Amino acid sequence: MGQTSSTYQQPPAVSSARCPIPAATSSKCPISHDSPPKQAQCPIDHTALNPLNQMPTLPQTPAPEQSIILPTERTESSIPRDSSAKWEYPSPQQFYNALVRKGWETPEEHVETMVDIHNFLNEQAWDEVRNWERRESSDQDLQLARFKGRPGEMSPKARFWMFAGWVLPSRFSTEPPFDRHDWIVRRKNGEEVRYVIDYYSAPPEPDGSPVFSLDVRPALDSFGSIKQRISMATKEVWASFRSTGSEPPRRNP
């Protein structure tokens, strides 16, 4: 499964998502994707987890010089953490505190929208993981056991596409992903599989609304995952040939 784009208003088959800010009120997403790569990343530090809720310990109190009141309610995701609980997303106040702690200048009135985008992209990523698992066996009782944000570490595949962009700039982009996550997914039989997720900014919609692209795939660190990736790549090649009305070259007997 290759890179898929995300659109907020049309979630189903292809994860395509527009920014949930109406174009009439804003022509661009409040997240600046023109910033240096080290800033274009998820503001939540996913390495320091609270063992009680498996999320970073972030305060719910207003930050110094904060001018508006932000909600402190956390939203439960659709992503199972174990058999009895699901992951919770940070509240807008926690998200803003994370931004302040990292020194990022963010308009307070856009924080709730940024949280919506953050949560939506993670839901789309989980849908893509389930699609991979459904093709392998089943996505029943699938759990996200743990995860890690790795924004400063570019995946080998992301490096390859950047190199392709330098060689063939007319066909490929040289823009790096603005974030990367590694998710450890636990299957029904207890087996754990690592997934790599690269988050990209895609060309905007005609009305200026931003679009995001997610590249979700099993990491190449086990025989089963390698087989999954080869099988998916083969299917995509055949689908490409069928869509163009041609067939792959055949070898003479």
pLDDT band of 250, cuts 50, 70, 90: low
What average pLDDT does the structure give for the chain?
78
CA distances from residue 231 to 132, 135, 155, 198, 243 in whole angstroms, order as listed: 11, 10, 21, 20, 18
CA distances from residue 75 to 43, 197, 213, 226 in whole angstroms, order as listed: 17, 22, 23, 35
Share of the chain above pLDDT 90, in %: 38
Cβ of 136: how many Cβ atoms within 10 Å?
17
Between these two residues, 90 and 50, which has the higher pLDDT value? 90
pLDDT over threshold 50, residue 115: yes
Secondary structure element (H or E) that encloses residue 239, with its range: helix 223-243
Q: Give the pLDDT confidence score for residue 204 in this predicted structure.
A: 84
Q: Are 164 and 172 in contact (CB under 8 A)?
A: yes
pLDDT over threshold 50, residue 47: yes
| Distance separating alpha carbons of residues 214 and 8, to the nearest angstrom | 13
Q: Give the pLDDT confidence score for residue 98 in this predicted structure.
A: 87
Q: Are 41 and 149 in contact (CB under 8 A)?
A: yes
Q: Give the pLDDT confidence score for residue 20 in this predicted structure.
A: 44
Which of 177, 46, 119 minimizes the C-alpha distance to 111? Answer: 119
pLDDT band of 48, cuts 50, 70, 90: low
Q: Tell me which amino acid residue 110 is.
A: H
Q: Give the pLDDT confidence score for residue 11 in this predicted structure.
A: 32
Q: Give the pLDDT confidence score for residue 56 in this predicted structure.
A: 58
pLDDT over threshold 90, residue 22: no
Confirm whether pTM is higher than 0.85. no
Residue whose tokens read 């308009």: 107
pLDDT band of 208, cuts 50, 70, 90: confident
Q: Give the pLDDT confidence score for residue 73 in this predicted structure.
A: 96
- Bridge partners, residue 200, by sequence: 213
| Distance separating alpha carbons of residues 181 and 125, to the nearest angstrom | 10
> 187 phi and psi, to 5 degrees?
-85, 175
Q: Give the pLDDT confidence score for residue 191 in this predicted structure.
A: 93
Q: Give the pLDDT confidence score for residue 8 in this predicted structure.
A: 40
pLDDT tens for 128-156 read: 999 999 988 888 899 999 998 887 788 88
Low-confidence winner among 3-17, 121-135, 143-157 (lowest mean pLDDT): 3-17
Q: Cα 108 from chain centroid?
A: 23
Q: Give the pLDDT confidence score for residue 96 in this predicted structure.
A: 93
